[in-house]
Amino acid sequence: MIPLQDVLPRRTVPLATWGIIVVNAVVFLLEVSLPPPTREVLFHYLGLIPARITHPGWAAAHGFPPGAYLTFLTHLFLHGGWVHFLGNMWTLWIFGDNVEDRLGHLRFLIFYLLCGVAAALTHIFMHPDSTVPTIGASGAISGVLGAYFVMFPLARVIVLVPIFFFPFFLEVPALLYLGYWYLLQVFSGTLSLALPGEIGGVAWWAHAGGFLTGVLTHRLFCRRPHGYFKDEEVPWGPVLSYLDRLNR
């Protein structure tokens, strides 16, 4: 199923969502302007390589500079091709605005990055010896999907289902579409563990980890009119109140 549109209207201008898309677009255009060998070097230095974190001796022996932990963030803004980039940005465009409505601009940005880091940690935990660079915003976007899944389970999503080269358009609840999507990530991730050799392609467990992070933590980032906690009930309540004031 390919998502085309949700039918849930937004109430505010999604500045953070649009800003993330713009930054990714600028970085991607810079990527494609590089010669392929230079682009590969970029992916190896700014992409997330689990072995750089888990085996620092290996990283030093292969000439990687210090700063591997910065790749928890930098890998979120790199993409391997047009399909990878457009697919991620299209998904963020569809689902990000409504989540940002509930969280506010700055909270949404922090939440997005947190989910990206959590997705990276999940990938490293599941594939600690991998030397393949992982790139893409999908781990962070998966967190946005997790938040949407809990906040708007009955929102309708228009999806494209190709059957024998014929397109079928369906309107399904977000609960069904995103639940199916999450189970697909877990199934594919489990299957990948049984395959020999290096881990490449799709970082299924990063998607699953990001999604669960969004499900479990989005409540802590909701603005108080729509949130579940008072400031004194969470350790970072004063910080969130400050962000609320900046959002106004």
3-state secondary structure 30-62: HHHCCCHHHHHHHHHHHCECHHHHHCHHHHHHC
**Residue 167 included in any domain:** yes
User: The domain containing residue 114 runs over which residues?
Assistant: 2-219
Residue 165's pLDDT band, with cuts at 50, 70 and 90, is confident
Q: What is the CATH number of the domain that holds 100?
A: 1.20.1540.10
Q: How many CA atoms lie within 13 A of 188 on its CB side?
A: 16
**Residue 247 included in any domain:** no
The residue with greater pLDDT, 221 or 236, is 221
Closest to 212 measured CA to CA, from 150, 148, 146, 151 = 146
Q: How many CA atoms lie within 13 A of 11 on its CB side?
A: 7
Residue 231's pLDDT band, with cuts at 50, 70 and 90, is very low
**Residue 110 included in any domain:** yes
Q: Which amino acid is present at 183?
A: L
pTM of the model: 0.85
How many structural domains are present in the chain? 1
- In the chain, DSSP assigns E strands to 2-6, 156-163, 166-173
Q: How many CA atoms lie within 13 A of 33 on its CB side?
A: 6
**Residue 240 included in any domain:** no
